Chains A and B, each alone.
Chain A
Amino acid sequence: MAKVMKFPGYAIVPDSLRNEVSLYGQTVGFGFDLKLRYYRGHYLSCIDEFVLKIDGKEIDPSRISFGINGKRLPVPLLSQLASEFWQVTHLARIQVEQIGGLKPGEHELDLTLMLRSPYMPNLDPSTPNRYVQIDNCDSGRFTVGMAL
């Protein structure tokens, strides 16, 4: 078994980058949809690494939430969420708190998202991981769409 599995296709959903506007009409952040690029779902506690960079700058994880199952879950808590299941057909909504949001136009998004496949032990002693990893990383230039 390869130490890292990477399924084909996108993770950051095209045309999903939008600013978030409060009911009071103020832009309070931005977000995008995220696909789990695998054949089955996973508990959020299987996320080993979540790093988001916008235009080359890393975002403080405490400002990022992972939206799934009707909840907005703080990214720093993901590893503790062993009963929150991310269905493979459900898109997660990743949201960043940032008053003023993103400027109109194109932005460079770079997401590092690594998961464990928790039933596939890593049999390669040369790597420290207990389980085979799933590479759900993605990056590219995305245009800010109309806020919904």
Chain B
Amino acid sequence: MKKITLGVSLFSFTGEYISGLFTLEDCIRTASEIGAECFEMVGAQMLPTYPYVTEEFASEFKAMCDGYGIPMTSYGANMDRGMLPDRDLTEDEMLRACINDLRTASKLGASMMRVQYMTPPSVMKRLAPYAEAYGIHCGIEIHNPETPSSPTMQAYREVYDQIDAQYLGFVVDFGSFANGPNKPSIDRALANGASQEALDYAISSCYDKIPREEVREGLLKMGANAAALGAFEDMYAFLTFSREPDFAGLKAIVPYISYCHGKFHYISEDLVEPAIPYPEILKTLVDAGYSGIIVSENEGHHAGKTVEMTRRHLEMQRKILAAL
């Protein structure tokens, strides 16, 4: 059986890149050095000619990929629906932006593209023939707080089924299956004076799905400081977690997966991500026959040791997959 391919999103090196410590070439070289088999690049972050590609840059980029022996398999596109000051982009304008992203991805050698959920199902439907013409599989990112089963994501699936889309699917971000509070977020709140009591209350409320406003009021009554409130806001937004992650939903969408974002915030020395249940996620994927790509995506940019954490993440996944 074909094995899962493990790559790295260069987004993992955000801290090094934006501080000027790493160039794009350093990011590509590092991904190769720590054992990634392929990589993803977010255009709005690292493409010097964004959102376009010049012939000059395309050949420079190809030389880097060839030189370090690592291909870019996926292009991370953004949908800047709110880029104009007074109105959102129309569907026609969003479609044109997506087609331009396809051209860019294609010139850079990618075969897959991450599309953000600001792009509605109706635009994805119109994008289908272009994705096919460019030979690029386009996946809507399922990112926390969305899950595979949430109505927003199911609306895409319905459209995909309707047109029997061969080049549309999902990019699954494993953060959607978090089953515990985010360690760096909690550590940072504690370092900034949040009380353990306030954080415990926020954590148990998130587990019990207590409405946000109720919890906020409770925290204010407890005299929670800004750090505790910040950690709470994140728990109710892009760092949500649940006692029952949507594994059934994951299993059901495996045939639609373009590729996966192996989200992590922290990996311990003994190779555990404390908030995201990797053994269960990887088992679900393998049991359902998934044999595509997972790119490691570090989002613990403030937790330090980025390169080492990303290396550990690859090692952790290899270890889990080998035991399955």
Interface residues of A (CB under 8 A from B): 1-2, 8, 38-43, 45-46, 48, 79, 82, 85, 87-89, 116, 118-119, 121, 130-131
Contact = CB atoms under 8 A, between A and B. Distances in A.
A89 B85 contact: no
Contact of A89 (B18, B79, B80, B83): B18
Contacts of A87: 48, 50
Interface stretch (B63-71, B201-209, B230-238): B230-238
A45 B85 CA distance: 6
Nearest to B238: A1
A39 B81 contact: no
A92 to B, nearest CB: 15
B116 interface: yes
B88 interface: yes
A74 to B, nearest CB: 16
Contacts of A45: 83-85
Those 10 A-B pairs whose CB atoms lie nearest each other, nearest first: A118-B82, A118-B80, A40-B45, A1-B237, A40-B44, A79-B85, A131-B82, A118-B83, A39-B14, A43-B83
A39 to B, nearest CB: 5
Contact of B44 (A41, A116, A121): A41
A89 B50 CA distance: 13
Interface string B7-19: 0000100100110
Interface of B is mostly: loop
Contacts of A1: 233, 237-238
Given A1-B237, A87-B50, A89-B18, A40 B81 contact: no
Nearest to A123: B237
A81 to B, nearest CB: 10
A135 to B, nearest CB: 13
Contacts of B44: 40-42
Interface in B189-206: none
A100 to B, nearest CB: 34
Given A8-B302, A85-B50, A119-B118, 16 more contacts: A1-B237, A2-B230, A2-B233, A2-B237, A38-B18, A39-B11, A39-B301, A40-B42, A40-B78, A41-B50, A88-B45, A89-B20, A118-B83, A119-B78, A121-B82, A131-B82
Contact of A82 (B20, B50, B83): B83
B35 interface: no
B292 interface: no
Nearest to A2: B233
Pick the most buried of A38, A82, A89, A130: most chain B CB atoms within 10 A of its CB: A89
A119 B17 CA distance: 21
Contacts of B84: 45, 82
B51 interface: yes
Nearest to A1: B237
A70 to B, nearest CB: 13
B14 A119 contact: no
B233 A48 contact: no
Nearest to A117: B82
Contacts of A116: 82
Contact of A39 (B18, B20, B48, B234): B18
Interface string B75-96: 0001111111100100000000
A121 B85 CA distance: 13
B9 to A, nearest CB: 12
B322 to A, nearest CB: 33
